[in-house]
Amino acid sequence: MVKKQNFKLTLAVLLLGGFLSLFNETILNVALPKLMTSFQVNAATVQWLSTGYILVVVVMVPLSAFLIRRFSTTQLFCGALTLFALGTFFAALSPNFVCLLSSRMLQATGTGLLVPIMMNTALKITLNEKKGFIMGVCTCVILFGPSLGPIISGELLQFASWRILFWLLLPIILITILGGILWTTSIKNIEAKAPIDVLSIILSSLGLVTIVYFLSIINSSGVQWEKYLLLAIGIISLLWFYQRQLKLNFPMLNVKLLSNKSFLLGAIILIMLQMVQFSMNILLPMIFENGLHLSPLAAALRIFPATIICSLLTLVSGKIYDKFSGALLIPGGLMVMVIGLAVMSRVTSFTSASIITLIDILIYLGISLSFAPNQSNMLVTLTAKEQTDAIAISNTFIQLGSALGTPLFVGILSNQEQKLIATGINKTTSLYSGFQLSIELATAILIIGVFIALYAEHLLKKATNK
């Protein structure tokens, strides 16, 4: 356990590392048009700066549990930050698109580890009666970091080159490395060094990369059988990976946790929450920019209040969880989201940007009540040793939720929009019709989530009363 006087410093360093990794994930979103001009590439090519980054993160997240067992917190945290810093340095100097893409992927090898390290270590050094609050703090970082990226970069890009984004990020990363060296050395690992199983790493990486890539291209034009071949390869790889983990004496990831019903149901809720949360940050800018004709920066600023309020209320929900558990918080939060989404599904071209922002705040109020308590519930019946694997699995599911939600909801919006345009209906009306349909589906998914949450609480109550 970390000494009391160093606890806050240790936690602050871990949270800063996690925040920087998530902030970096979206920092180039509003810079893509400028990068297309600078490097003379098209939209499909420049999008690889996001796709390639996410694919590497998806590989690194499940690896985190194995690496946490094999290396000390200081070694792993500072090593991940060093990779992040090197990628940032090379990105700032990139003379062409290939170099920039390679640098972003190098960044991702480090940033993909930072959130699991943050959550695992923060929970490890925290007393049991305060873990709900600490999970709320970690969730606050997870929600706040990606939302702030486009706003900060949008402001900077009004008067500076895209390279300034990396040059300003670099010294903060270096300061965080110094903080890691100073304040994480007293944290002890739970296990001794674990052996490497190369085949497990290959199967996990191949399975997740092919599935996430399949989801990213499912709505694009091209040969359909090639897409579904990718999906088949991904599913077979992950099934092989799962079976292999059950047979190994030292598995890369303890997949037996998925046989724990409370954990599995919590994971399903987590995927649902992330599908909606992540997709709202893509769907709403489409309405603000294409429907209400706001600039990308103005659209980002319209979404930001919901994220701020959600991030702050997540801290409150964490404290409530520590006192009263998640029995009411999780299903109650999901119900608030259902109400907010039901109202959002009635938005039309006559609805003002301010009203849409207020409805978005209501949806994010529900997220703040349910997200962190649900993650805490997933861990509550597990041992400290199992929590390392549980955090890696839950963060992998968060990435899969993001990857699944985008093609599903955006695909429905786009298909409905194109279908109506083909019948002669104007583009704006078609856009809103597609938006309504996608939000109606999100509402239906979370109604199912409410019943899953109620059943999960019933199971958890039975398990804790034994």
Whether the CA torsion 13, 140, 144, 305 is positive or negative: it is negative
Confidence class of residue 2 from pLDDT cuts 50, 70 and 90?
Answer: low
pLDDT tens digit sequence for 368-388: 999 989 988 888 878 878 888
User: Tell me, what's the pLDDT at 222?
Assistant: 67
pLDDT tens digit sequence for 285-302: 889 988 998 887 888 888
User: Tell me, what's the pLDDT at 355?
Assistant: 96
User: Tell me, what's the pLDDT at 221?
Assistant: 67
Domain locations along the chain: 1-195, 196-249, 254-466
> Any idea which of 223-227, 256-260, 364-368 has the lowest mean pLDDT?
223-227
User: Tell me, what's the pLDDT at 296?
Assistant: 79
Q: Are 399 and 54 in contact (CB under 8 A)?
A: yes
The owner of tokens 């871990």 is 14
User: Tell me, what's the pLDDT at 3?
Assistant: 59
Higher pLDDT, 424 or 173: 173
Q: Does 214 score more than 90 pLDDT? A: no
Separation CA 163–CA 136 (nearest Å): 33
Which two tokens mark 220?
């694009």
Q: Does 193 score more than 80 pLDDT? A: no
The owner of tokens 């109020």 is 365
The CATH number of the structural domain formed by 254-466 is 1.20.1250.20
> pTM of the prediction?
0.87
Confidence class of residue 90 from pLDDT cuts 50, 70 and 90?
Answer: very high
Largest alpha-carbon pair distance within the chain? 68
pLDDT tens digit sequence for 102-137: 999 999 999 999 999 999 888 888 887 788 889 888
Q: How many CB atoms lie within 10 A of CB 108?
A: 25
Full 3-state SS string of the chain: CCCHHHHHHHHHHHHHHHHHHHHHHCCCHHHHHHHHHHHCCCHHHHCHHHHHHHHHHHHHHHHHHHHHHHCCHHHHHHHHHHHHHHHHHHHHHCCCHHHHHHHHHHHHHHHHHHHHHHHHHHHHCCCHHHHHHHHHHHHHHHHHHHHHHHHHHHHHCCCCCCHHHHHHHHHHHHHHHHHHHHHCCCCCCCCCCCCCCHHHHHHHHHHHHHHHHHHHHCCCCCCHHHHHHHHHHHHHHHHHHHHHHHHCCCCCCCHHHHHCHHHHHHHHHHHHHHHHHHHHHHHHHHHHHHHCCCCHHHHHHHHHHHHHHHHHHHHHHHHHHHHHCCCCHHHHHHHHHHHHHHHHCCCCCCCCHHHHHHHHHHHHHHHHHHHHHHHHHHHCCCCHHHHHHHHHHHHHHHHHHHHHHHHHHHHHHHHHHHHHHHCCCCHHHHHHHHHHHHHHHHHHHHHHHHHHHHHHHHHHHHHHHC
Q: Do the domains spanning 1-195 and 254-466 agree at the CATH topology level?
A: yes
Which two tokens mark 194?
């674990």
Q: Does 10 score more than 60 pLDDT? A: yes
Please give the angle made by the CA atoms of 376, 377 and 383, to the nearest 5 degrees. 80
Average pLDDT of every residue of the chain: 88
| Highest CATH level, class, for 1-195 | mainly alpha
Confidence class of residue 311 from pLDDT cuts 50, 70 and 90?
Answer: confident
